[in-house]
Amino acid sequence: MSLPHAVAAASVRAAVSLALRLLVPIVIVVPHTQAATPESLVVLSPHNEAIREEFERGFSRWHLARHGADVDLDWRVVGGSSESLKFVQSEYARKPDGIGIDVFFGGGQEPYFELADKHWAVPCALPDSVLSGIPQDVVGIPLRAEDRSWFGAAISSFGILQNLRVQSLAHLPRALRWEDLTRPELEGWVGAGDPRGSGTMHVMFESFLQAHGWDRGWRMLTQLAGNTRRFDRVSSTTAKDAAVGETAYALAVDFYAFSQIAAAGKEHLTFVLPQDFAAINPDGIALLHGAPHREVACRFLEFVLSDAGQQLWMLPRGHPDGPSRHSIERMPVRPALYERHRGVSNVEFSPFDLHASFRYDARLAQQRRGVIATLSGALLVDVHDDLKTAWKAVIRRGLDPADLVEFGRPPLTEQEARALSVDSWKNPAVRNAKRAEWQRWALTKYQGLARTSAPPIPPAARPPSPTPAP
């Protein structure tokens, strides 16, 4: 074979060999790494969807970075904090060793006193680096249990959300004190919720009784109910009604108010902490007895109480250390964050700087919670139409002092209410009987006041106060 032919043949063989190599798949062996199995966590919470979404996203990222595994977070939502507590009570009655839920997250202090007293909330060991940045209390109100069975996770203040445009159009005054909501010209313009289903409303109603005393507190609550358009099942609806102009004033927790203001603008809405008293109350978090995923649950508590979790409450959405989609705008329990994010967060004041004379007694509220909630429902909510009719009659007669005393008179004394809470309230038959008795009593009272010349109704166990609330 001549040289040119040999060269040509070699070129052909090389080309064929290359083509064959290209047709054969090349197998590269790499080490096989199995992804970590996601951890599980079950959380019962009255928090709204925005809070749940942001804390789920934040915890998942934090847990993956620290522990190398994702978390499948299963939220259980049964209603507000009162309904959530009732659910826990009924579940532990059937399953005392555990109810298949790891964490109770949200709601004021009262549910956590109940959980701790029943040993349903159990201690969780958290790093000192996390707890050292959280004081023992805020304005004298504890932020953790002594045995660390529950912790304050955020701080709430309670006030009045007001629609400035509606007030201007309807020639209504700005409310600066709780007492202002009892003024007759506000009839039909006030929004409130049912304290039997809303933990927020229960705290606010209880605050009236603690700050102003039993008799005056009930007079104010009854007059406020006379001005209330309707009682909502959940407090978030009450805030939304004020934002859209259905009402001009709404009893509201700060974060519901701030979220409505952020959406509508400060020129349309404002939130006022009343001058006569401002209630401060921490929202809690606790590990539950029999938690099926205890280790991950304690990590969730660690995250919520750390800087990483606490910044989700106060920073605006889109901030590198804040929430992704929803600005929550609540007050954290770590004082250092207020100064660190001043001018960045819409949370403009720190509750740790307050010098409040009124201190909400959450333990007292927890002890008589069932009686106060049922009494409020029976006297103010269940017979609301008759109450409003009576209030109109009292206004027509010129707000006579005797009428005001009778209108706001409860059917039992504070001492009787406390004794009832301690002695027999756990008996369902007693609860049902008292609720019906109080409803009938209130109905008789309001129907009597609605008549121009009303005969006196049978007196309660004590004489009424001689003078009405100023």
**DSSP H helices in 289-345:** 294-305, 307-314, 336-340
Top-level class of domain 157-212+232-280? alpha beta
Query: d(Cα 82, Cα 197) in Å, to the nearest integer?
Result: 5
Average pLDDT in the 140-157 region?
94
Mind listing the pLDDT tens digit for each residue in 302-327? Answer: 999 999 999 999 999 999 999 999 99
* Residues 238 and 252: beta-carbon distance below 8 Å: yes
Tell me, what's the pLDDT at 2? 47
Q: For the chain, what is the mean pLDDT?
A: 88
Q: Ramachandran region of residue 399, left (φ > 0), alpha (ψ -120 to 50) or beta?
A: left
- Looking at residues 133-141, what average pLDDT do you find? 92
Mean pLDDT in residue range 209-236: 93
Identical fold between 39-154+281-353 and 157-212+232-280: yes
Mind listing the pLDDT tens digit for each residue in 64-80? 999 999 999 999 999 88
> Domains of the chain: which residue ranges?
39-154+281-353, 157-212+232-280, 368-450
Region of poorest pLDDT, from 12-21, 144-153, 447-456: 12-21
Name the band, by pLDDT with cuts 50, 70 and 90, for residue 28: very low
Show the tokens assigned to 242: 């004020």
Q: Is 459 helix (H, G, I), strand (E, B) or coil?
A: coil
C-alpha to C-alpha distance for 46 and 104, rounded to whole angstroms: 9
Whether 249 shows a pLDDT value over 80: the answer reads yes
| Residue 24, pLDDT above cutoff 90 | no
| Average pLDDT value for residue range 440-462 | 73
Q: Which tens digit of pLDDT belongs to each residue from 102-120?
A: 999 998 888 999 999 999 9
How far, CA to CA in Å, does 91 sit from each of 47, 88, 97, 98, 99? 20, 5, 10, 8, 6
Who has greater pLDDT, 348 or 214?
Answer: 214
The string of DSSP codes covering 334-369 is: -THHHHHTTTTSS----GGG---S----HHHHHHTH
According to CATH, what is the number of the domain 39-154+281-353?
Answer: 3.40.190.10
Whether residue 20 is predicted with pLDDT greater than 60 in this model: the reply is: no
Residues 6 or more apart whose CB falls under 8 angstroms from that of 380 comprise 221, 222, 225, 231, 387
pLDDT band at residue 458, thresholds of 50, 70 and 90? low
Q: Name which of 395, 397, 406 is nearest 468 in CA terms.
A: 406
DSSP-derived 3-state class of residue 105:
strand
CA distances from 11 to 8, 21, 350 (A): 5, 15, 83
- Per-residue pLDDT for 17 more than 70? no
For residue 33, what pLDDT band results from cuts at 50, 70 and 90? very low
Query: What is the reported pLDDT for 22?
Result: 44
